[in-house]
Structure 1
Amino acid sequence: MRQSLTSASRSLLVATSFLALALPASAAENMTIVTFGGAFESAVDEAFLGPFSKENDVTVVREQYDGGLAKLRGMVEAGNTTWDLIDLESNDAITGCDEGLLQKLDTKLLGDTSDFIEGAVLPCAVASMVWSTIYAYDTSRLTTAPTTIGDFFDTAKFPGKRGVRKSPKAALEWALIADGVPVAEVYDLLGTPEGVDRAFAKLSTIKNDIVWWEAGSQAPQLLADGAVTMTMAYNGRIRTAQLDDKRPFEVVWDGQVYDYEWWGIPTGAKNEAVAAKFIEYASSPDNIWKLSNYIPYAPPRSSATDKVAKDVIPHLPTAPENFKNALQVNSEFWADNLDSINNRFLNWLGQ
């Protein structure tokens, strides 16, 4: 793990740690939230932000980003944090806490935490849902249905372009699984130079057929446009395209790479009390399940799953049929190794 930025940032982290942020939000307060946008933000609006802002007279300002900590790090170092609440991937939540970019979480906001799925509460963040990276295809364009991660890499049997997120995360894991590595051994192997070499070698077999995407909304659009035959995607985005746009897409769950999404409060947030109140609201057993009814990401509290609509449950990453060959993202691995592996990834892209 990386150490905190400076002694000043550590002091700021302590000074702004929200140990007593469960105070009621006063009238006409503001909260700036940054998310990955698209269907997820729309679902958060419906499930949480709309009711919360109405009940507490809070004006919500929305911003979008594509992940990473560069912008947040710049804000904190400059002493000018303009975000109050941030939607984070796991490795960013861990690194953000280590570097003093996120405030310590007061777990009292969460009530009884015993029903949270293991690992769903971190020192500086709490899981908002369980999401998954899967791949999908258009059933109107393929006469034979792919069923495995190996099929994603098989351009002889399934010709055409592949949509892949422009990141080594999930892509390298898939490459190893497609190359015959059991999911239980993926990170042990990826933690070795030989494993990284093997993953890049497998990914290279489809390099010329890859269409890279960066924003989650691009994946279903590439598929809809016929620009790719199959695409890596977030499961919720594909389900939204199926329901809202009536797209004939099918999800392949084999080798799904699942992870938590997190709420965190940036160090120096100007409206931290309102953000903490939102976390308390959105994380409560009475509310946390509601997100799943708007986008099929699973609640991280086990007591909440039974409250999700029955027709939604089969589309959740945690549904038994979808979970047979699933791989949980090793967030500690990526927090420790993302920079070095990403440098190699960028060099590989340029070759």
Structure 2
Amino acid sequence: MKKILFLTSAICGLAVAAQAQEVNVVSWGGSYEKSQVEAYNKPFTEKTGIKVNMTAADNPATPLKAQVEAKNITGDVFDIETSDAIRLCDEGALVEIDPASLPAAPDGTAASDDFIPGALQDCAVANIFWGTVIAFDTTKFSGEKPAKAADFFDTAKFPGKRGLPKNPKRTLYLALIADGVPAADVYDVLSTPEGVDRAFAKLETIKADTVWWEAGAQPVQLLADGEVVMATGYNGRFFDAMVAEGKPFEIIWDGQYMDMDMFAIPKDSPNPEAALEYLKFATDTQRLADQAKWIAYGPSRKSSAALVGMYQDGKTEMGPHMPTNPEHMTTAVMDDPEFWVDHQAELSERFNSWLAAS
């Protein structure tokens, strides 16, 4: 009887320990965070008993770098851009992830073959493809409406303030596209001093008409408040404003900038085992497809595509709103993470100096 009681107590203790586990996820907030809560966090907690704590940041790579430098890691999983994942991995700050440990596709295809090329890095696993796009307030244009990236810079034909991110990665490409550089050539041009000068010269033409933003929710709010008539921002945020909130916005897909967000686990995270379980769960086929019910970002797995259907309202087909829609890819600029690993610091320094100049 004592042995039975002992075993029962031990089993209960393990159950309590499992229930007491938690994982701290740092992401981007807003409608994107909501999509993760619904598609990942709630079902993960229901399945494992592990509580998920979400923290929002304007860019999760910023607190991740700060925590690494301070040797005080409080987050377990960070949702970061590919270039940051590569850089921090090279610096030895992140846990390496074995693709063989990730769940296979429903038909048995190994994860290494199921993820879209580039979605698996040494220390990170992509969850979504997303686009930085132009959106405009349709009520501000009674005649011809803007339709091309070049129209964003044409304040004579389409007067009004513009909203741009305070970030060279999200602005220099657009300046070159608007100046006539083909999408496929943007990084070739930007890798030369003349190309950088060309991009800044184009930005200079609208500098006086620009409102600068830093957080993902801001361009939507700038448009809604009438502070700008056009803004660049994340396609999922604009989709949410248009479909869920009924805002009179329209997206221009010409020259969209496509990137991936990736889950990464820092070394010495407080809950490493729970972090890895969360990462594997959140990047399986069904979970990535489920997220598309809540926001218009493309899943990083091939096997998820066929499972993407309607938005949560039950009437909006998600396919036409995805950045990965073939019609939206014709003039898309694909992120080059290796370029930004090599040039982020110098271009950020020049961008900040240019902003500060009168």
With normalisation by structure 2, the TM-score equals 0.89
Partner of 1:262: 262
SS in 1 for 2:139: coil
1:180 aligns to 2:167 (yes or no): no
1:277 aligns to 2:277 (yes or no): yes
Deviations 1:33-66 (A, max 9, x none): 1011111001100111111112211122221112
Partner of 1:74: 66
- Give, in whole Å, the separation in 2 of the partners of 1:179 and 1:68: 32
SS in 1 for 2:331: coil
Partner of 2:136: 137
- Give, in whole Å, the separation in 1 of the partners of 2:250 and 2:70: 46
Question: Aligned residues, how many?
Answer: 327
Matches within 5 A, 1:117-156: 117-143=116-142, 144-156=144-156
Whether contact under 8 Å (2:74, 2:269) holds in the other structure is: yes
1:319 aligns to 2:311 (yes or no): no
Give the Å deviation of 1:77.
3.4
Deviations 1:225-252 (A, max 9, x none): 0100100010000010012211011000
Query: Aligned-residue CA RMSD in angstroms?
Result: 1.3
- Give the partner amino acid of 2:355: L
Partner of 1:334: 340
Give the Å deviation of 1:121.
0.3
- Give the partner amino acid of 2:219: A
Whether contact under 8 Å (1:68, 1:92) holds in the other structure is: no
- Give, in whole Å, the separation in 2 of the partners of 1:105 and 1:65: 24
Give the Å deviation of 1:68.
6.1
- Give, in whole Å, the separation in 2 of the partners of 1:64 and 1:71: 10
Give the Å deviation of 1:99.
1.1
- Give, in whole Å, the separation in 2 of the partners of 1:70 and 1:265: 14
- Give, in whole Å, the separation in 1 of the partners of 2:194 and 2:94: 35
Structure 2 gaps, min length 5: 1-16, 105-109, 311-316
- Give, in whole Å, the separation in 2 of the partners of 1:69 and 1:235: 20
Q: Percent identity?
A: 45
- Give, in whole Å, the separation in 1 of the partners of 2:287 and 2:139: 38
Partner of 1:47: 39
Q: 1:345 aligns with which of 328, 347, 351?
A: 351
Give the Å deviation of 1:216.
0.4
- Give, in whole Å, the separation in 2 of the partners of 1:328 and 1:283: 22
Partner of 1:100: 92
Give the Å deviation of 1:275.
1.0
SS in 1 for 2:177: helix
Whether contact under 8 Å (1:173, 1:186) holds in the other structure is: yes
SS in 2 for 1:267: coil
Structure 1 gaps, min length 5: 1-24
